Amino acid sequence: MQDLLATPIEFLKGVGPQRAALLRGELEVHTYLDLLQHFPFRYVDRSIFHQVKDLVEDMPQAQLRGVLGPLRTVGEKQGRRLVSTFTDASGTVDLVWFKGARWLHASLKPGQQYILFGKPNVFKGRFSFPHPELELAETREQVLEAALQPVYSTTEKLTAKGLGSRAIWKLQKTLLGQLVGSIPETLSKELIDWLSGLSREEAFRQVHAPQDQTRLDAAIHRLKFEELFFIQMLLLKQKLLLQQQLRGNVFGSVGDHFNTFYKEHLPFELTGAQKRVVKEIRKDMGTGRQMNRLVQGDVGSGKTLVGLLSMLIALDNGFQSALMAPTEILAQQHFATLSRFLEGLPVVVRLLTGNTKVAERRSILEALRAGEVHLIVGTHALLEDRVVFKQLGLVVIDEQHRFGVAQRARLWAKSAVPPHVLVMTATPIPRTLAMTLYGDLDTSVIDELPPGRKPIRTVHRYDSSRSAVFGFMEEEIAKGRQIYVVYPLIEEADPAKMNGQDLKDLTDGFESITRRFPLPKYAVSMVHGRMDQATKDYEMARFKKGETNILVATTVIEVGVDVPNASVMVIENAERFGLSQLHQLRGRVGRGAEQSFCILMTGDKLGNDARARIETMVRTNDGFEIAETDLRLRGPGDLMGTLQSGLPEMHIADLIADAALLQQARQVALRLLDLDPGLRDPKNASIARSLAERMKGKPVWGRIS
């Protein structure tokens, strides 16, 4: 029965090879099922009639009953068009067509009663309908096909070939006629009843040709639920498989290194969230299965320490750990932080990057192989084949979205039993997205900042008040603070795409700042991604050591750079940054005891989205709230770009609008797999069959390393 839905679309009556090619190319419709899943994006209620006097300017469409006036051709050449009028008891509107005049002359009958349907525009104070749909009133009286008519998305190319919304509707009806009794059920009776009783076939029928609003709503609800439910079932099922398959080292005990550090060296109390996450990690690493855990924590929430504590547990169990960072600067910083934390403890920490000198590298590699290095911190250099561990037990990856999946996979090869993997990210992933993307992973959230932090104060300033901003910077420098000024050199990773104007803005900015803050009283440094590594490191180091007051930079400083004395972040052209990027940049300040500030500079004219982004930044410091807003503004597709991961295909459900239903679908799936993990109960047979169908040929995805 499933086979009928898999029939290629060209075999449907009214399609044929040419239209099939178009449907495939334009709408990704290959099979009968694909067509059924090309859902209407809205409905018009054709039982409602308007009167000319009731028309208002921004109506999406209106339906009138009246008399068609005479047809006239007006205008010259390009401006040539066919016009007419349409009159009901309350008034008259204009009609206009820019093409098809010959056909219209032949088929329309002026003076007759028509039903008109279309979008009203206001032109020179009168309502006008471009290219209205016209239907003889007497025909309509005979066949009112349906009150609620679906509207399908289509493309210009399709419309030109006669496959507009109405034609697609017709195909749907032909198909449904052919499929009577042949659309297999995918849910259990129990679930169907719970979801208001529509079978899958009935739901498809109601969605494409609704009988009334109630049944339409029930159909949409069922189909959305079904879609979200199977996404969750797939993810959860894969998680179960993964857990059965992946053997991991058992870190059964917590020993001296952890305990001594925790009791005698930890300079502060862990936050509640840190304690909870460390506990989750400990539990994972003790199970005998490989840990794949994602730790999300806002900037400054103390992820590094959580990583360190996990590495000490590995060490207590006789294993080495690696901490990987996406950049040289970050690796150095982590190395310095860990070394400081571990001072006086018998733990050997080394740093390995592309810049490590040959002799030193050789000694590090030897010590790693001999098991004399306990923790190694580094960049991609750690992935090289010559890096061999005696016994690698844990890999901690900072800021995962900068690492490719393939690169991470190379770590697996370094150990007979795959190491536990902990990924730490400061990019908060909205809950709904995380549930669909990482539903098969374990995630922890550090949702609490260490005590005593002063929330960063964020303000929006227009370019016109630059001198006041400079004045403020001067005051802060006088107090001994340091300042970041960031420019949007967005494409710098790819010089071919780079915008020359951006680089000019950056260098102009640098010049005007050095003019306003001149030597010898002030010092200004600059870094951007197109500098060579040595210059970049040098400039960065000067700022870190406090030798310069201002760092003019691009987004190279976005991730992880830690200079506690820097308390002001000025972001130029803030309207050009995405929300999560703004939030990451802001996270560079607010790391010390002083009050920190973030100043968002923009031009006077702001688009709606840009304004919403700036307002969100000014309103809140909460990374998760920002991520949710980002999701709403940009949509999941765009957000995915930055997360490098595949979002499951969705036809009818929407991650933002249907968040509550997603939550429900997940709960139902969890419960079902809990009660019947193998889906062997006969009453779940249709679910089992559909799931097996969907799992065919799918790799185990979602794994983070």
User: In the complex, which residues of this chain contact ligand ADP (CB under 6 A)?
Assistant: 268, 270-271, 274, 297, 299-305, 426, 450, 562
**What is d(CA 12, CA 4) in angstroms, rounded to the nearest whole number?**
11
Smallest gap from Cβ 342 to ligand ADP, in A, equals: 13
Nearer Cβ to Mg ion (267/699): 267
Q: How far is the CB of 450 from Mg ion (least distance, A)?
A: 13
Pairwise CA distance, residues 92 & 210, whole Å: 33
Ranges of beta strands (E only) in 542-662 are 550-553, 566-571, 597-602
Residue 584 beta carbon to ligand ADP: minimum distance, rounded to whole angstroms: 10
Closer of 347 and 445 to ligand ADP (Cβ): 445
Cβ neighbours of residue 119 closer than 8 Å, sequence gap 6 or more: 59, 60, 61, 62, 129, 130
Residue 227 or 298 having the CB closest to ligand ADP: 298
Question: Which helix (H) or strand (E) covers residue 43, if one does?
Answer: strand 42-45
Q: Residue 646, class by beta-carbon neighbours within 10 Å (0-12 exposed, 13-18 middle, 19+ buried)?
A: exposed
Q: How far is the CB of 119 from ligand ADP (least distance, A)?
A: 51
Indicate which of ligand ADP, Mg ion, none lies near residue 320 (CB less than 5 to 8 Å, by partner kind): none
Please give the structure tokens belonging to residue 589.
Answer: 């300040």
Question: Minimal distance in Å, beta carbon 545 to ligand ADP?
Answer: 17
Tell me the closest approach of the beta carbon of residue 689 to Mg ion, in angstroms: 46
Nearer to ligand ADP, 4 or 266 (CB): 266
* Residue 422 beta carbon to ligand ADP: minimum distance, rounded to whole angstroms: 13
Instruction: Give whichever of 306 and 662 is closer to Mg ion, judged by the CB atom.
Output: 306
What is the distance between the alpha carbons of residues 58 and 38, in angstroms, rounded to a whole number?
A: 28
The whole-angstrom separation of Cα 493 and Cα 267 is 39
Of residues 301 and 458, the one with the C-beta less far from ligand ADP = 301
Asked whether 205 and 176 are in contact (CB, 8 A), the reply is yes
Contact partner at residue 450 from Mg ion, ligand ADP, none, CB < 5 to 8 Å by partner kind: ligand ADP
- SS3 letters across 251-296: CCCCCHHHHHHHHHHCCCCCCHHHHHHHHHHHHHHCCCECCEEEEE
Residues in the chain: 705
Which partner in ligand ADP, Mg ion, none is near 596 (CB below 5 to 8 A by kind)? none
For residues 308 and 679, which CB has a smaller minimum distance to ligand ADP in the complex?
Answer: 308
Residue 572's nearest CA partner among 539, 613, 602, 608 is: 602
Contact between 117 and 133 under an 8 Å Cβ cutoff? The reply is: yes
Question: SS3 for 98?
Answer: coil
For ligand ADP, the closer CB: 28 or 269: 269
Q: How far is the CB of 598 from Mg ion (least distance, A)?
A: 18
Question: How far apart are the C-alpha atoms of 670 and 685, rounded to whole Å?
Answer: 17
Provide the binding-site residues for Mg ion, judged by CB under 5 A: 560
Residues with Cβ < 8 Å from 475, sequence gap 6 or more? none
Whole-number Å distance between alpha carbons of 446 and 424? 10
In the complex, what is the shortest distance from the CB of residue 428 to ligand ADP, in angstroms, rounded to a whole number? Answer: 12
Which one of ligand ADP, Mg ion, none is in contact with 435 (Cβ closer than 5 to 8 A by kind)?
A: none
> Quick one: 132 or 307, whose CB is closer to ligand ADP?
307
The CA distance from 277 to 566, in Å, is 29
Question: What is the smallest separation between the CB atom of 305 and ligand ADP, expressed in angstroms?
Answer: 5
Closer residue to ligand ADP in complex, CB, 29/308: 308
Which of 307/578 has CB closer to ligand ADP? 307
Whether omega before 495 lies within 30 degrees of 0, making that bond cis, reads no
- Distance, in Å, from the CA atom of 557 to the CA atom of 546, rounded to the nearest integer, reads 16
* Residue 301 near which of ligand ADP, Mg ion, none (CB within 5-8 Å, type-dependent): ligand ADP
**Residue 376, contacted partner among Mg ion, ligand ADP, none, CB below 5-8 A by kind:** none
Strands (E), 75-154: 81-88, 91-97, 113-118, 121-123, 126-130, 133-136, 148-151
Give whichever of 210 and 560 is closer to Mg ion, judged by the CB atom: 560
Closest alpha carbon to 482 in 583, 597, 581: 597
DSSP 567: E
Partner interacting with residue 430 (select from ligand ADP, Mg ion, none; CB below 5-8 Å by kind): none
Sign of CA dihedral 463, 469, 473, 476: negative
Shortest approach of Mg ion to residue 486 CB, angstroms? 18
Give the CA angle between residues 627, 380, 558 to the nearest 5°.
35
Least gap, CB of 559 to Mg ion (angstroms)? 8
Q: How far is the CB of 223 from ligand ADP (least distance, A)?
A: 41
Asked if 487 and 572 count as a contact pair (C-beta separation under 8 A), the reply is yes
Rounded least distance, CB 560 to ligand ADP, Å:
7
Q: Using CB distances below 5 to 8 A depending on partner kind, what does residue 558 bind out of Mg ion, ligand ADP, none?
A: none
User: How many CB atoms neighbour CB 402 within 10 A?
Assistant: 17
C-alpha to C-alpha distance for 323 and 303, rounded to whole angstroms: 12
Q: Which residue lies nearer to ligand ADP by CB, 302 or 488? A: 302
Residue nearest to ligand ADP (CB): 302
Task: Please say which residue, 277 or 571, places its beta carbon nearer to ligand ADP.
Answer: 277
- Chain residue at closest Cβ approach to Mg ion: 560
- Ordered DSSP codes for 139-188: HHHH----SEEEE----HHHHHTT-SHHHHHHHHHHHHHHTTT-S---S-
Q: Which does 297 bind (CB under 5 to 8 A by kind): Mg ion, ligand ADP, none?
A: ligand ADP
